[in-house]
Structure 1
Amino acid sequence: MREIIVLSGKGGAGKTSVTAAFAALARDTVLCDLDVDAPDMHILLEPTGTRREPFVSGHLASIRAEACDGCGECAARCRFGAVTRTPDGRYAIVPGHCEGCKTCVVLCPRQAIDFTPRTCGWSAVSDTRFGPLVHARLDPGAENSGRLVALLRGKAKALAKARGLDMILCDGAPGIACPVVSSISGATLAVLVTEPTPSGSHDLTRVAKLCDHFRLPTAVIINKADLNPDEARRIEDFCADTGRPVLGRLPYSPDVVRAMTARLTLPEYGGPLAEAAAELWQAVVTLAAASRPQLQPL
């Protein structure tokens, strides 16, 4: 089973637009949105028949008012300011401040504090016009995004196996933090979408190093390449020096915004970018089917 993940190292490079275009071109594929903090692929794919499950991770302290005698030990011990005094002289937990460290639970003289599992968001499997979509959303400020990403990947693999599909196409999170690390281990190929700016080049280097650390083959797409030809050439030189292929260049085009406004992918919208996306997808499929290339260390 091949697992292709599209990354960018930064937000705004065009990663989701490219992934959605590939989704429209792929066949027999499970789609997966691994950006659990700010997912947006569903905006273009308009999922239906969503089967949602709560994501439970970590614990949250809660004080039983009837058992609290107002001694204040919990407030004195809490390092996060998560305990507040109530008008009746007792204490309560502020849920958004609780870090789940369990200190107050252990030290409460009256054993008046419960430590219950915390619901941090949800995961779901939906139907789209391009096939099944596995996606999720983490509650604002909630932690364990890496664990949620791992959960989504597991669901996607199980769904692909159950349906006899041989490919998973993932839209990864921006940056190089925990969600991205959880996304790339054991994948088949990472497609790195970048833009010809100093920020784009810098973040491409970071995510490329991360993929190399996990021995994950990578290939690069330069989006909006015609906006800064000199920077685009520097990106190509970097790729040549580090042994990773440049699959192609995409020009800047207002069609991207027009397609998004119409809630269409680039292949559905048509035009020159649709043809370019089709060529890129064929190159991705060919590379994913090939043996793992030997990368030169950075």
Structure 2
Amino acid sequence: MHEILVVSGKGGAGKTSVTGAFAHLSDNAILCDLDVDAPDFHLLSQPEKYQTHEFWSGYEAHIRQDDCMQCGDCLERCRFDAIKEEDGLYTVDPIKCEGCKVCVALCPGDAIDFNLKKCGEWYRSHTRFGQLVHAQLYPGEENSGRLVALLKDEARKTAKEYGYEIMLADGAPGIGCPVISSLSGTDLAVFVTEPTPSGLHDLERVAALCDHFRVKGCVVINKYDLNTDMTEKIESFCEQKGYPVAGRVPHSNAVTAAMVERKTVTEYDSSMYTDFAGIWNNVLSQL
């Protein structure tokens, strides 16, 4: 099985729209949304969940009131202001608790538990494009990289069970922990960029990240006709670095109109279907 990851180095470059078009064009792919902090692939794919699983990771402190000596030692030691005191009762604010365990280790009454916490959920779903593995990390929670790794493992199991030949994943924006985790085992990264100075800058940094992990990459230039001079600069950069340009996507109001109807642009507009069909074939040729 080949693994294709769509990344952008930033948010708003059109990564999910490109992934959606690829999902529509593919005929034997397991789909995966690896943007666990702010997933949006479900907006286009309209998944029907058939499995829901809890994601437990990290720890948070909890004070047992019956055993608390009300000494205030935990309040003084907490660097994150997670301990609250009201009418002589000490409690832990789970939003502020960073799980450092200082209060647990140094409580003179041994009155603080250190419990594993539920950070989110992950799902298996049916879509009109095939099966989708996706998740939702709760706001402010950590371990997004670990959740991404879990999703990839589950997608691989599903692919093996049903005989999928490709894993197509919508990656997170940027170059942080979830993107690094997404790159593990990836055969090809598709860089989606825009013809702007920031688009080129973010392309350079996500490409450098993939180079570091020895992941092959190719480029899709979205809305290329908004600034043809910048498009030429991006293509020149790709030529220098050896990144194939899989294709150009013209600016089109059909993309937004398709989103409103919760469709991929290839389902909505026949000319865009033709454009993306050529790009998808170029991407597959890189495997």
**Category of TM-score, reference length = shorter chain:** over 0.9
Aligned to 1:27: 27
SS at match of 2:286: helix
1:86 CA displacement:
2.2
2:168 is paired with a residue whose SS is strand
Amino acid at match of 2:84: T
Question: Once the 2 structures are TM-superposed, how far is the Cα of residue 164 of structure 1 from its aligned partner?
Answer: 1.4
Partners of 2:172 and 2:102 in 1: how far apart?
33
Q: What SS class does the counterpart of residue 76 from structure 1 fall into?
A: helix
Contact 1:266 1:277 in 2 (8 A): no
Contact 2:49 2:123 in 1 (8 A): no
The equivalent of 2:65 in structure 1 is: 65
Kindly indicate whether residue 49 of structure 2 is the aligned counterpart of residue 49 of structure 1.
yes
1:2-58 Cα deviation digits (max 9, x unpaired): 000001111111110000000011112100000011000001100013311111111
Alignment map for 1:205-284 (pairs within 5 Å): 205-284=204-283
Divergent runs of 4+, >6 A: none
Does 2:284 align with 1:285? Answer: yes
Distance 1:33 1:147 in 2: 14
Q: Alpha-carbon deviation of 1:77? A: 1.1
CA positional deviation for 1:100: 0.5
Distance in 1, Cα, partners of 2:95 & 2:55 = 17
Q: TM-score, normalised by structure 2?
A: 0.98
> CA shift at 1:165, angstroms?
1.2
Residue deviations 1:154-212 (CA, integer Å, cap 9, x gap): 01001101111121000000100001000112211000010000110000000000000
How far is the alpha carbon of 1:66 from its aligned partner? 1.4
Q: 1:76 Cα deviation (Å)?
A: 1.2
Output the CA distance in 2 between the equivalents of 1:192 and 1:257: 21
For 2:96, the aligned partner's letter is H
Gaps of 5+ in 2: none
Q: Distance in 1 between matches of 2:172 and 2:136?
A: 12
CA distance in structure 2 between the aligned counterparts of 1:219 and 1:197, rounded to whole angstroms: 18
CA–CA separation in structure 2 for the residues paired with 1:242 and 1:69: 64
Q: Tell me the alpha carbon deviations over residues 221-269 of structure 1, each in whole angstroms, 9 at most, x when there is no partner.
A: 1000000000000000000000110011111000001111111112211
Which residue number corresponds to residue 107 of structure 1? 106
Structure-2 residue corresponding to 1:83: 83
User: Deviation per CA, 1:88-132, whole angstroms, max 9, x where unpaired?
Assistant: x12110110101111111111111111110111111111101111
- How much does 1:65 deviate? 1.1
Counterparts of 1:282 and 1:263, CA distance in 2: 24
Q: SS state of the match for residue 243, structure 2?
A: coil
- Counterpart of 1:293 in structure 2 is none
**Aligned match of 1:200:** 199
The one-letter code sitting in structure 2 at the alignment partner of 1:10 is: K
Unaligned runs of 5+ in 1: 289-298
How far apart in 2 are the matches of 1:2 and 1:271? 28
Instruction: Provide the rounded CA distance (Å) in 1 between the counterparts of 2:243 and 2:199.
Output: 17
Distance in structure 2 (CA, Å) of the matches to 1:50 and 1:204: 36
Contact 1:69 1:90 in 2 (8 A): no
In 1, distance between residues paired with 2:116 and 2:53?
15
Identify the range of structure 1 (78-87 vs 203-212) with the bigger mean alpha-carbon deviation. Answer: 78-87
Quote the Cα distance in structure 2 between the aligned partners of 1:117 and 1:94. 15
Identity of aligned pairs, percent? 55
1:145 maps to 2:144: yes
Partner SS state of residue 36, structure 1:
coil
C-alpha separation in 2, matches of 1:176 and 1:272: 32
Give the residue type in structure 2 aligned to 1:287.
Answer: Q
CA distance in 1: counterparts of 2:106 and 2:240, whole angstroms: 58
Q: 2:176 corresponds to which letter in structure 1?
A: A
- Structure 2 distance, partners of 1:241, 1:230, is 17
Does the aligned pair in 2 maintain the 1:104–1:113 contact within 8 Å? yes
Give the distance between the partners of 1:25 and 1:199, measured in 2 at CA.
29
Partners of 1:196 and 1:223 within 8 A in 2? yes
What is the alpha-carbon distance in structure 2 between the residues aligned to residue 273 and residue 117 of structure 1? 47
